[in-house]
Amino acid sequence: MKKVFGCVALSFVLLALVSCVSNSGAKGAGKNLSYYESNAADFSEATLSNGIPVVYKKNSSGKIYVLRLIIDGGTPLVPVNKSGLEDCTLDMLQYGSESYAYEEIQQLKYERSFSITSNSGYDFSTYGFRCIEKYFDSAFDIFVDSLMYPLLSIDDFEKVKTEYAESVQRALTDPSSLLGLTMRKEAFAGHPYESNPSVTKESLGSITLDDVKSHYKTLLNANRLKIVVVGDFSAITQDKMTEKLEAAFGSIAAQPYEKPQIPALSVKGRPVHVPLEQAGDSGYAFGYFVCPERNDSSAYIPFALASMYVDEALFSQVREKNGAVYSAGTGIFGGKKLFGVISIYRASKAENLQKLIYEAIDSFPDERGVQEQLDHFKNKYITALFSTAQDSSGVAGNIVSSMQYYGDPKAYLLRTDRIQAVTAAQVLTAYRKYFARDVLRAADGIVNPIRWVVVDKDGRFSFGK
């Protein structure tokens, strides 16, 4: 069972950027829609009697079935002092139900090689399972019983709280984890994303079993739910699945629900330093800045490609040439609204570190230089995209993101066309608007503000603006 507590992984450099590329639908994608057209036929949809939409995607690569229940809303619906409540509630669902004891569920998971997973986020959460075709019916029954008839006992709640307490303590003594926690807290202060998807030190003692039970009831709202099913199934099997879904979830009532409105993000405040003895002689830093939104593909994809040039410069100049860090790169964090980030992991040279980083960023090539490498980075980008969707779980993840952020489950099919259409001029424009640190290189002479958050032992790895 997962336990993640607000950590921002320093290895998210490419995948975080890759996972967000899409657009709002098929219209306007250009003339070459062969990939879209060849895959769109594998989609079909149904609607349960209470209005819950179901999206099916046939995936002939393997016999793995994946089902994801999407719960709209995310952290804006959870008070800050109860951060992680939804995560805790979804975890509790796996601790036994009316028909299946916790120990029995664990044994069946092992014997039949299936898993039940949950994930809480800023805009939505998911609860689902993955199994081989042979055991779909039995896995489905356990999944449904855990969701519709959970025990939510006090003994299990205390076990979960103990696990959270241990993980929170580990996060607070690990430099990378503490850095991620601090950045999220600082970056989203006063914003609807201020409530962390994961349990925090501050919320740990605030969440009660009554909170979990109360929050659980709010999740079972047909107006907040969508279902995605991916697998190599026939039309007859699909019809049977719809019948099973109707029997399981068709009785969930449609309650009033207002989708959270998420305002734009901004960067403000002085650099932040957090002392931590466990950092030893190393420094850990994130510099976060405003970047394009997920659904603005005309701006986001050039930004993502520009970040790949920046990644290469940080690696070759800051790490390889100067030996100043163990790892450096770019990424994003957030939900519907995003921040870009420069990540520094285990810096060893404090003197002039920020200067080295900014010089690497400002070594970005001119338009001709961008053009010379553009096909290489496009191919690298597309390869990474497909490598994250090799199985049914990856396909399901793409569909969920497409539904939630673009309103079209097939939107991700257009990624390749969108990437290939980007020009060197667009990449250079994105660099100048979002990354450039020198006013002479920045768009209209305006440098995009960046705020640094640093964890080290004694403040040696200081950063300014």
Give me the mean pLDDT over the 344-371 stretch.
Answer: 97
Percent of the chain with pLDDT over 70: 92
Q: Any idea which architecture 42-249 has in CATH?
A: 2-Layer Sandwich (3.30)
pLDDT, tens only, 83-121: 999 999 999 999 999 999 999 999 999 999 899 999 999
Q: Residue ranges per domain, the chain?
A: 42-249, 272-456
Provide the whole-model pTM.
0.92
Indicate if the pLDDT at residue 2 is higher than 70. Answer: no
- 42-249 and 272-456: same fold? yes
Distance of CA 77 to the CA centre of its chain: 18
Confidence of residue 6 (pLDDT cuts 50, 70, 90): very low
> What φ, ψ does residue 187 adopt, rounded to 5°?
-65, -35
Please state, rounded to an integer, the average pLDDT across all residues of the chain.
92
CA distance 295 to 405: 7
Least confident of 74-78, 123-127, 227-231, 459-463: 459-463
CA distance 288 to 344: 12
- pLDDT (0 to 100) of residue 25: 38
Give me the mean pLDDT over the 316-333 stretch.
Answer: 97
Other CB atoms within 10 A of residue 429 CB? 17
pLDDT, tens only, 43-83: 999 999 999 999 999 998 778 999 999 999 999 999 999 99
Indicate if the pLDDT at residue 13 is higher than 80. Answer: no
Confidence of residue 153 (pLDDT cuts 50, 70, 90): very high
Query: What is the CATH code of the structural domain delimited by 272-456?
Result: 3.30.830.10
Query: Residue 106 belongs to what H/E stretch?
Result: helix 102-112
Confidence of residue 11 (pLDDT cuts 50, 70, 90): very low
Confidence of residue 386 (pLDDT cuts 50, 70, 90): confident
Which of 377, 350, 370, 365 is CA-nearest to residue 460? 350
Three-state secondary structure along 350-396?
CCCHHHHHHHHHCCCCCHHHHHHHHHHHHHHHHHHHHHCCCCHHHHH
